[in-house]
Amino acid sequence: MLTRRLFLSSMAATAQSRARVPNFVLITCDDMGYADIEPYRAEVNYTPNLARMAREGLRFTSWYAAPVCSPSRAALMTGCYPKRVGLSFGSWHAVLMPGDWHGLNPNETTVAKVLKQRGYVTACIGKWHLGDQPEFLPTKQGFDSYYGLPYSNDMRPAQKPGPAQDYPHPPLPLLRNDKLVREVTDQDFVTADYTREALEFIKNNAARPFFLYLPHTMVHGPLAAGAAWRGKTGKDLYHDSVAEIDWSVGEILKAVPRNTLVIFLSDNGGTPRAINTPLRGNKGSTWEGGVRVPALAWWPGKIKPGRVNDDIVSNMDVLPTFAALAGGDVPRDRKIDGRDLSALLAGPGKSGHETFYFYHANKLLAVRHGKWKLHTNGELYDLAADIGESKNVAAANPAVVKQLLAKHEEARADMGDGSHAGPNVRMHGKAKGPLRFWIPRHSGSGFPPQAPVKKVDGAPVG
């Protein structure tokens, strides 16, 4: 009898503990600029739900991603620099491509795996882009379910081969778990479709702890928006697509249970069609405009409304933060670069990074330490006074240059630089093969239906 009472007591304590842990919703969009939404530029008048997130929650002003898609998502999932987990680029391009033999190593511990160990139900809905071969898909990386496009929406058949069409892509596949749903041609439905799937997941799992990862395909080109959103902003399709993303965020905020932490961010800086004001540069660079992204955290009753934080934080911090809030642990058998931001969410205090390394592909291109950022070309910027990196102050600050050069060497000794791999990096996943496309190339693509994926030697492009 005593044993039974102890068992029931333990079960009750576990249930109460699970009731106290938050749900997590991580919403990302693709290629959104720093100032594309109202919390970062007051002139925007078509993102009321993101404005609400900032008004009722926390706005980050120094949240860093990676310069391009796949590395950024690797950091989100693993809590590590993309370089550390072998995914600072794809096998032959700056990002993973259809039929790529590289992907997120299934031996990595993802945020989804950490939360599943704590009893969470997990779902990924949207653009994955961490490997399209079966062993790399979300359902092999800690997610109970997956629905979406396995890579970027521009990785679809070109209308005709030629110099402007470098990559002969297969048809664009929509997947559910590890099964093909259909080929995607017209993309106008995508944002609404992901939102519908997300709302269904929230409804079905409201009574238990859940983690929803919602990586939107938009606003990556080719741009698309639902019929109700085309022309909505009075600007162009790009801004209409941003407005539809905002609508989606609003639907999620209305649907989630109260004890839910929602984080919104972009996967990298905006392209030239985006607005990155006042930052310099765009996606694909390690200037601030390529890597500093809009990021908001919303958690009613837990995050004090209207806060702004300028700590150095990043995609890598999601895993340790969610782990701490769920009562779990980060992996102890490997190096994790991210920081636990749970104290920062609760109130003022330094929880971010003192130093941050900027890699593009396998090359170290800059280091930030406090307010200072030193590029490998020797240019030094005081980001507190010059967020736009417009005035090189290296000559006036030789001691700072020397200090940050030492930080560069620390990164090289740890993770390497260029062809030097570094001792503390781990291997990417490698497909066992045979490599395949989800939908074979058809004759309308202008390329042979079963043409192999192109291999390129040397450094990746892009």
* Token pair of 242 as six digits: 């941003």
Catalytic residue, from 80, 102, 124, 129: name it: 129
What count of other Cβ atoms lies within 10 Å of the Cβ of residue 375? 19
d(CA 345, CA 351): 9
Distances (CA, A) of 139 to 42, 143, 197, 204, 320: 40, 5, 16, 18, 21
Catalytic residue, from 29, 69, 80, 124: name it: 69
d(CA 246, CA 439): 32
What count of other Cβ atoms lies within 10 Å of the Cβ of residue 163? 5
Q: Is-catalytic flag, 129?
A: yes
d(CA 428, CA 107): 9
Give a three-class secondary structure readout of the chain. Answer: CHHHHHHHHHHHHHHHHHHHCCEEEEEEECCCCCCCCHHHCCCCCCCHHHHHHHHHCEEEEEEECCCCHHHHHHHHHHCCCCCCCCCCCCCCECCCCCCCCEECCCCCCCHHHHHHCCCCEEEEECCCCCCCCHHHCHHHCCCCEEEECCCCCCCCCCCCCECCECCCCCCEEEEECCEEEEEECCCCCHHHHHHHHHHHHHHHCCCCCEEEEEECCCCCCCCCCCCCCCCCCCCCHHHHHHHHHHHHHHHHHHHCCCCEEEEEEECCCCCCCCCCCCCCCCCCCCCHHHHEEEEEEECCCCCCCCEEECCCEEHHHHHHHHHHHCCCCCCCCCCCCCCCCHHHHHCCCCCCCCEEEEEECCEEEEEEECCEEEECCCCEEECCCCCCCCCCCCCCCHHHHHHHHHHHHHHHHHHCECCECCCCCCCCEECCCCCCCCCCCCHHHCCCCCCCCCCCCCCCEC
Q: Evaluate whether 248 touches 195 at the Cβ level (below 8 Å).
A: yes
**Residues with a known catalytic role:** 69, 129
